[in-house]
Chains A and B, each alone.
Chain A
């Protein structure tokens, strides 16, 4: 698509949407949001770039193949269950570390990042395939 305004604003939109997606991912545990929605927003960010500047450009920005991203996500999901297996004897029982100032970190976070990556990778694989011109 050859629209100057769209191309110029695509980069800004991309940065804003990516930041929003990470924010949504982060607040997802206790409040509405999470890996799935975050992943959707992030994939839309890259889809905007793909629309404005072409799929090859978006693929280059991503650097790795979308399916590798999804694979990484599934693998993170697999890994996030292991601490539960070792500590609690039950796979996917999520473990938490609490800090004195109310800050907490848990394996659900790893799982959520995994979901984020799976959704991002899967959506992008599809969007790139659909946007690419006929061979």
Chain B
């Protein structure tokens, strides 16, 4: 079963890496999202997936039942999802702002940072 999971995760992450190689900023971001989804699944798998009941303490008892799922990876995945979500949200706001100021999201045309203070041109200060 582990092999099936691993194959699925590697398919997702492979798509993510393929998208990362694109020149378009939004595609790169989508690639990052797919990669982070793959990583989250790896965390899940690291906590051993099986047909377990959810880790909720029954009313009246004070401990988890022994066959309950491992709650720690779930907490980790939740944290990772929230953080990944906020980062991607921030990055997409950034991409939107870039599109508004530069009119393009193609990385070939976005070279303002490199041009600033480049040693090979003399009139770089004017581009600011």
Contacts and interface: CB of A to CB of B under 8 A. Distances in A.
A134 B102 CA distance: 12
Nearest to A123: B89
Interface in A107-135: 122, 126, 129-130, 134-135
A25 B49 CA distance: 30
Interface of B is mostly: helix
A14 interface: no
A5 B106 CA distance: 39
Contact of B100 (A36, A122, A126, A134): A134
Interface string B81-111: 0100010011011001000100000000000
Contacts, number: 12
Interface residues of A, number: 7
Q: Which of B86, B89, B96, B100 has the most CB of A within 10 A?
A: B89
Nearest to A135: B100
A18 B82 CA distance: 21
Nearest to B82: A36
Contacts of A135: 100
A122 B85 CA distance: 12
Contacts of A36: 82
A129 B82 contact: no
A126 B82 contact: no
A122 B82 CA distance: 12
Nearest to B97: A129
A126 B96 contact: no
Contacts of B86: 122
Contacts of B100: 134-135
A130 B82 CA distance: 19
Interface in B48-99: 82, 86, 89-90, 92-93, 96
8 contacts: A36-B82, A126-B89, A126-B90, A129-B93, A129-B96, A130-B93, A130-B96, A134-B100
Given A126-B93, A130-B92, A130-B96, 7 more contacts: A122-B86, A126-B89, A126-B90, A129-B96, A130-B93, A134-B100, A135-B100
